[in-house]
Amino acid sequence: MMIVLNGELREAPTGTTLAELIAAAGIESERRGIAVALDGEVVPRSAWETAPVADGARIEVLQAVAGG
């Protein structure tokens, strides 16, 4: 199946969860300040392990950055 992750078209196995997709992309999911939106809706971290990703899904992974 094909998905869009942070604006890039990618192939992902059918039945992939958000947690699996984030790990496969090399994103450290345990870091604080990470937010994930699936098709425009923020998904709570507690649901990443069970949230299925469908063909054509648009996923945005964002990280809060503090600075001065």
Q: What is the per-residue pLDDT across 44-60, written as a single tens digit (0 to 9) for each? A: 999 999 999 999 999 99
Assigned token pair, 59 = 């996923």
Assigned token pair, 10 = 């990618």
Confidence of residue 30 (pLDDT cuts 50, 70, 90): confident
Cβ atoms of residues 57 and 3 within 8 Å: yes
Q: What is the pLDDT of residue 13?
A: 92
Confidence of residue 33 (pLDDT cuts 50, 70, 90): confident
Q: How far apart are CA 68 and CA 52, in angstroms?
A: 37
Assigned token pair, 42 = 């923020």
pLDDT above 80 (res 35): yes
Q: What is the pTM of this model?
A: 0.84
